[in-house]
């Protein structure tokens, strides 16, 4: 899948289409139905929040949308092109060229500075921004030469966000990015995600089990027992800076 597909994206177009996604994990004789016939379209430029109790299938869904995992049945299309039933190399290209991931734990390399951690990605990306620019966007301009151990948890997470977006991905997928952070620190991380979404227009999906965070979304999906149980649209969005819990 080439970068030419990026040019085809327009404001109201589905970036991702998931149809009848199911995922069954088998451990010995036990079957867990992590996803049950999920249908979802992600529209270019939206910021969706996925809410739901632990075990409801949020991570499984995000991992499949991001090409980290494959469904047991069903189909995912990225800009109209199937991601399911492609080989591993194609899935790797999809992840590398089009998807930025942020997880609860930052997974930075301790022996590299913030700048060097981001540079690892920009060196292999097709049309990256300068690593300094990515770190500026998340408010870490003055800290680019610090090592992870010299940064707070929230700052380390913002380095991870800079690393995820420096390649200018079409999709930013965040799985509980503030799960390990206290409320004021989490707000700074959410402000970084909000700014990326506003300034780069990156289509963003964010998993949380904190319903306050859903107020910054354009659309909120509620997952339960492997299904999208409910969906709402926020008529007005709250700025991340106004959120507290």
Residues that bind Mg ion (CB under 5 A): 59
Are 197 and 170 in contact by the 8 Å Cβ rule? The answer is no
Pairing of strands 219-224, 227-233: antiparallel
Site membership for ligand ADP, residue 54 (CB under 6 A): yes
Whole-number minimum distance, CB 14 to ligand ADP, in Å?
23
φ and ψ of 83, to 5 deg = -105, -20
52 binds ligand ADP per the rule CB under 6 A: yes
- 66 near ligand ADP (CB under 6 A): no
Rounded to whole angstroms, the Cα distance separating 164 from 172 reads 7
28 binds ligand ADP (CB under 6 A): no
Of 129, 149, 4, give the one whose Cα is nearest residue 78: 4
How many C-beta atoms lie closer than 10 Å to residue 100's C-beta?
25
**Backbone conformation region of residue 9, classed left if phi is above 0, alpha if psi is from -120 to 50, else beta:** beta
60 binds ligand ADP (CB under 6 A): yes
CB of 151 to ligand ADP, least distance (A): 27
Closer to ligand ADP at the Cβ: 50 or 137? 50
Write out the binding residues for ligand ADP, residues 212-241 only, by CB under 6 A.
Answer: none
- φ/ψ (deg, to 5) at 64: -70, -40
Question: Which residue number, 5 or 22, has a Cβ lying nearer to ligand ADP?
Answer: 22
- 56 sits near ligand ADP (criterion: CB under 6 A): yes
The answer to whether residue 34 forms part of the interface with ligand ADP (CB under 6 A) is yes
Number of residues that bind ligand ADP (CB under 6 A): 12
Instruction: Map the footprint of ligand ADP across residues 80-139, applying CB under 6 A.
Output: none
Q: Which of 76/135 has CB closer to ligand ADP?
A: 76
Distance CA(26)–CA(105), nearest Å, equals: 26
69 or 215, CB closer to ligand ADP? 69
Compute the least distance from the CB of residue 53 to Mg ion, in Å. 10
Q: Is 97 helix (H, G, I), strand (E, B) or coil?
A: helix
DSSP letter, residue 216: G
Pure H helices in the chain: 4-7, 58-65, 88-98, 114-122, 131-137, 153-165, 183-200
Residue 7 Cβ vs ligand ADP, minimum distance, rounded to whole Å = 33
Q: Which does 27 bind (CB under 5 to 8 A by kind): Mg ion, ligand ADP, none?
A: ligand ADP
Secondary structure (3-state) at 21 = strand
Q: Which is nearer to ligand ADP, 25 or 245 (CB)?
A: 25
**Contacting residues toward ligand ADP, per CB under 6 A:** 25, 27, 32, 34, 52, 54-60
């Amino acid at each position: 899948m080439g970068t030419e597909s990026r040019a085809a994206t327009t404001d109201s177009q589905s970036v991702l289409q998931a149809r009848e996604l199911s995922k069954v994990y088998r451990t010995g004789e036990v079957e867990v139905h992590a996803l049950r016939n999920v249908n979802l379209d992600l529209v270019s430029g939206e910021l969706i929040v996925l809410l739901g109790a632990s075990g409801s299938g949020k991570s499984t869904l995000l991992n499949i949308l991001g090409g980290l995992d494959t469904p047991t049945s069903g189909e995912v299309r990225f800009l109209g092109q199937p991601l399911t039933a492609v080989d591993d190399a194609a899935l790797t290209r999809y992840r590398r060229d089009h998807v930025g991931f942020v997880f609860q734990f930052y997974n930075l390399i301790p022996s590299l500075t913030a700048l060097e951690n981001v540079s690892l990605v920009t060196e292999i990306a097709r049309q990256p921004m300068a690593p300094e620019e990515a770190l500026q966007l998340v408010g870490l301009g003055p800290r680019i030469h610090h090592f992870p151990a010299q940064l707070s948890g929230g700052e380390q997470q913002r380095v991870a966000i800079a690393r995820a977006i420096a390649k200018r991905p079409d999709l930013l997928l965040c799985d509980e990015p503030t799960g390990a952070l206290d409320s004021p620190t989490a707000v700074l991380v959410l402000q970084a995600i909000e700014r990326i979404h506003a300034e780069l227009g990156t289509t963003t999906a964010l998993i949380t089990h904190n319903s306050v965070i859903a107020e910054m979304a354009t659309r909120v999906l509620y997952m339960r027992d492997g299904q999208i149980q409910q969906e709402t649209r926020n008529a007005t969005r709250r700025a991340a800076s106004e959120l507290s819990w």
